[in-house]
Amino acid sequence: MLKNHKSIIYFLLILTFIASCAKNPVSGMPDFVTITEQQEVEMGRAYHKEILKNSKVLDNKELTKYYVELGEKIAKSSHRPNLNWKFTIIDDPTFNAFATPGGYVYFYRGLLAHFNSEAELAGVLSHEIAHITARHAVRGMSTAQVTNLLIGLAASSVPGGSISNSGFNLLNQIVNKGYSRKYESEADDIAKEYLGRNGYNQNAMANFLKTMKSADDLENEIAKKEGRPISAGYHNIFSTHPSTENRIEAMNQTESMAGKKNKDAFLKMIDGLPYGTSDEEGYMRYNTFYHPFFAIKFTIPKGWDLKNLPDKLIITNKESEIVLIADNLLRDDIDNGFSPKDYLDQNIDKTSFLSTNKLIEQKPLNKNKMSGYTYLYKTTSVVDITYTRYSVFFDINQEDKKPKAWIFIKKFREINDDNASKIIETSFQKMTEEEVSKSQGLKIKVIRFKEGMSYKELADNSPLGRYAEGRLRLLNGHYPEGKPEVGTLIKIVE
């Protein structure tokens, strides 16, 4: 035991010595870091490989070139210009961006749609670059190393060395949980400096912080109406952690340089940018969900909301929930008479979900050139009564696709919600070849705001459905009550 204590003491002494030799690239003051720059770069490189494995990169050469060149320009003017900077746009509707050690910066497509000038984009790029130049992730990992005695975060002495499992998990946690109030505020200050160095209006970062707060306010409003938990926003945090109002106030307390905004040039660059989920993932237009790859479509009940996840769709209305999943079928089973009813009987029996439930309805669903079947069960417990409907459709006539079962699992507290959602089964059908060929998801369209236009009118004609007015206002930095000037460019969705 004494030997172990001595080893820990020696380890801490070594860390303290290393830390005493390290200086923060931004402040020039001593930093407590146990990770060398070479190790930092190796970690970033290894993490980048993992991100590319699990993420789809945006296929838009012009926009990517614009984004990369802007990022590189700001990085070259930063406190660490000699890092091998890499800038990536992830093709995902998430409202977020993040940076990893060694010079790697990632923006989600969903965030790009919410900027209203090049200066705002430059501000958030500067903010993410600042996390790297100030070594925020490295400083966080160093503290955790000492606390947990994590050793061997990176095999930097070996060419092509990679991050260890413990180091990867720690870095992943830091990146995904977001930074502390102190680090976020520090990155704001540095971003403002970088904006000035590159001739941009230094109010741009504060302006986008207002958009962040508006995004959280709108999310709070929608979540409250839908009776669900609030989803996290930019940097996986809420407006109150750290307080966005405080960050805006802090930035406004320092003098700001008037500089370029390049609003019109930026908006013209993102004209046509996909909005929401991509064509390949399926998308909502008005109240209909389309999936061109699988050539299916169906109508969502009015007042219900859809969440499109990689492995399923979730449709909700207060306490009622509908989940759509897909399962591959064997052609041999189908050739031997395996039916939708057989599928439900087989899978329900295997999972024992319905062992205490009472069957109150069963019937075939033979519509729209797909055979199907449905069961409705009533479950009575000590505290309440609930309903569960299982419906399946066999999609077996596409020669270039594996035969599939489309399964809807519906859970209700009120039988009226089952009646309201029957439009899903009655409208579930194959898309025609013409529909598939002409199909496209929602896109940003930049227009000039004309006399007589209003957000209400634009929302009434928008495919965004519920909350369209709030979402259009947010896109243009006018949530909850702003109004564009006549003749200025604004974003709509079509």
Q: What is the pLDDT of residues 10-42, one digit of tens each?
A: 444 444 544 445 667 776 565 656 678 888 888
Alpha helices in 259-330 (DSSP H): 263-270
d(CA 244, CA 250): 10
Domain with CATH 3.10.350.10 in the chain: 442-493
3-state secondary structure of 228: coil
From the options 3.30.930.10, 3.10.350.10, 1.10.443.10, 3.40.50.620, give the CATH code of 442-493: 3.10.350.10
pTM of the model: 0.82
pLDDT at position 13, please? Answer: 46
pLDDT at position 466, please? Answer: 82
Contact 176, 50 (CB under 8 A): no
Cis bond upstream, residue 364 (ω within 30): no
pLDDT at position 172, please? Answer: 67
Mean pLDDT for each 10-residue chunk of the chain (494 residues)? 47 47 64 75 90 92 97 96 96 91 94 96 96 84 51 39 57 68 88 95 89 87 76 58 73 82 96 90 91 92 87 89 94 93 82 65 84 90 84 87 92 89 91 90 95 94 90 95 94 95
pLDDT at position 82, please? Answer: 94
pLDDT at position 154, please? Answer: 41
Count other C-beta atoms under 10 Å from residue 309's C-beta.
11
3-state secondary structure of 209: helix
First to last CA, the chain: 68
3-state secondary structure of 259: coil
Kindly state which CATH superfamily the domain 279-438 is placed in: Mog1/PsbP, alpha/beta/alpha sandwich (3.40.1000.10)
pLDDT at position 245, please? Answer: 79
Q: What is the pLDDT of residues 98-121, one digit of tens each?
A: 998 899 999 999 999 999 999 999
Domain with CATH 3.40.1000.10 in the chain: 279-438
pLDDT at position 446, please? Answer: 97
3-state secondary structure of 464: coil
d(CA 28, CA 43): 23
pLDDT at position 351, please? Answer: 46
pLDDT at position 150, please? Answer: 40
pLDDT at position 244, please? Answer: 77
Q: What is the token pair recorded at 33?
A: 């870091």
How far, rounded to the nearest angstrom, does the alpha carbon of residue 154 sit from its chain's CA centroid? 29
3-state secondary structure of 377: strand
Q: What is the token pair recorded at 425?
A: 């089964």
pLDDT at position 376, please? Answer: 93
pLDDT at position 428, please? Answer: 93
